[in-house]
């Protein structure tokens, strides 16, 4: 022993998992979704995703004065998630501003990864939505052309406006919509990877999708229940946005409440609100409530007998 011994607190072994490895897992999980987006909407979708990721990573690297663009990978995830909520081909500057807002305002105002209260990608998306709704909502939904990588863009109304898409199309994704929200199939494949790696818990997606389905039943039976689940951003939101570790509760009961809240607000906006889609607002609102939910749902300690009220 020529060097000094190391002394530290127990435990002396650590799992190989790091933040970076988790972020890479999330990127892997988003890969089928991204692939599907390119398959349906062509190379313009790829361009949107790359612009968003690069802008997000560059913003973070500048803020942290870090040379390594990828870093812990969280900025890449945020950028890609933001792109997933955007239409296939918004103007490039809209994407860049969205990424800058997401990383700058949504994340680094709070001191960076882990400290933010609101999901950065959704903050970016909400700001874009309020600022330039003509570019990110409205008449921007390009009709999907499978294998039409360079096909001309023809827009059509969102299935959340028309309510006439077939459930099969919604499941496969051959409908118009934001890059990452059309194909429930791809989203589920990605989410299975995350489940397998233990990065998401069934509670948030389960309660979110469950309550959307149940409320959908009231909107027109089984068909509408499924329609509400498959159309729009519910799958993307429930599987990838609401499950964002940083901005969702850590307690098991809290996760259920969180998912329920997201679903209820989403459906309230869809059914009664002034906008066709409410996933973004639902999740952002519940993000704000997360600290309170955590505080109110402290788990029962091992061996503790709940005091009878």
Which residue from 279, 232, 230 is spatially nearest to 259, judged by alpha carbons? 279
Q: Do 187 and 209 form a contact (C-beta atoms < 8 A)?
A: no
> Could you tell me the smallest distance in angstroms from the CB atom of residue 264 to other proteins?
12
> Could you tell me the smallest distance in angstroms from the CB atom of residue 48 to other proteins?
18
Place of tokens 């680094």: 108
* CB nearer to other proteins: pick between 42 and 277: 277
Q: Do 106 and 118 form a contact (C-beta atoms < 8 A)?
A: yes
Beta-sheet strands, E only, within 101-210: none
DSSP annotation of 240 reads I
Considering the rule CB under 8 A, would residue 309 count as an interface residue with other proteins? Answer: no
What three-state secondary structure class fits 208?
helix
Considering the rule CB under 8 A, would residue 65 count as an interface residue with other proteins? Answer: no
Residue from 47, 64, 105, 153 in contact with other proteins (CB under 8 A): 105
Residue from 28, 92, 115, 162 in contact with other proteins (CB under 8 A): 115
Residue from 13, 67, 168, 309 in contact with other proteins (CB under 8 A): 13
Q: Across the strands, what pairs with 155?
A: 142
> Could you tell me the smallest distance in angstroms from the CB atom of residue 88 to other proteins?
19
Map the footprint of other proteins across residues 28-47, applying CB under 8 A: none
Angle between helices 279-296 and 120-131 (to 10 degrees): 140
Distance CA 93, CA 95 (A): 5
Map the footprint of other proteins across residues 169-198, applying CB under 8 A: 198
Residue from 28, 62, 154, 275 in contact with other proteins (CB under 8 A): 275
Q: Phi first, then psi: what are they for 68, rounded to 5°?
A: -75, 115
How far from 36 is each of 46, 83, 100, 182, 246, CA to CA, in Å? Answer: 10, 13, 26, 9, 27
Distance CA 178, CA 172 (A): 14
Considering the rule CB under 8 A, would residue 109 count as an interface residue with other proteins? Answer: yes
Map the footprint of other proteins across residues 125-144, applying CB under 8 A: 126-127, 130-133, 135
Residue from 58, 97, 224, 253 in contact with other proteins (CB under 8 A): 97
Residue from 10, 68, 150, 308 in contact with other proteins (CB under 8 A): 10
Residue from 138, 148, 210, 273 in contact with other proteins (CB under 8 A): 273
> Could you tell me the smallest distance in angstroms from the CB atom of residue 149 to other proteins?
29
Provide the mask over 208-247, with x wherever binding to other proteins is found by CB under 8 A and - wherever it is not.
-------------------------------------xxx
């Amino acid at each position: 022993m020529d060097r000094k011994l190391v002394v530290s607190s127990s435990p002396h072994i650590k799992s190989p998992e790091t933040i970076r490895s988790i972020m890479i897992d999330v990127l892997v999980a988003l890969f089928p979704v991204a692939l599907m987006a390119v398959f349906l909407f062509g190379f313009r979708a790829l361009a949107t995703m790359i612009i968003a990721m690069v802008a997000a990573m560059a913003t973070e690297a500048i803020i942290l004065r870090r040379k390594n663009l990828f870093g812990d990978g969280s900025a890449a995830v945020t950028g890609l998630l933001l792109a997933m909520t955007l239409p296939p081909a918004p103007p490039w500057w809209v994407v860049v501003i969205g990424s800058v807002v997401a990383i700058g305002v949504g994340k680094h105002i709070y001191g960076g990864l882990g400290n933010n209260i609101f999901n950065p990608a959704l903050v970016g998306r909400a700001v874009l939505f309020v600022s330039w709704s003509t570019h990110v909502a409205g008449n921007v939904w390009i009709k999907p052309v499978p294998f039409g990588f360079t096909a001309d863009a023809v827009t059509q109304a969102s299935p959340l406006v028309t309510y006439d898409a077939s459930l099969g199309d919604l499941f496969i994704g051959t409908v118009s919509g934001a890059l990452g929200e059309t194909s429930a199939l791809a989203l589920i494949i990605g989410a299975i990877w995350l489940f397998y790696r233990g990065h998401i818990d069934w509670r948030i997606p389960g309660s979110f999708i469950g309550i959307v389905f149940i409320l959908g039943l009231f909107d027109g039976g089984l068909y509408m229940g499924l329609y509400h689940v498959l159309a729009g951003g519910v799958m993307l939101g429930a599987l990838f946005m609401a499950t964002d570790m940083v901005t969702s509760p850590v307690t098991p009961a809290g996760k259920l409440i969180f998912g329920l809240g997201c679903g209820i607000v989403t459906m309230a906006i869809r059914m009664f609100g002034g906008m066709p889609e409410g996933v973004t607002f639902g999740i952002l609102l519940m993000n704000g409530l997360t600290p309170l939910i955590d505080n109110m749902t402290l788990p029962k300690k091992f061996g503790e007998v709940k005091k009878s009220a």
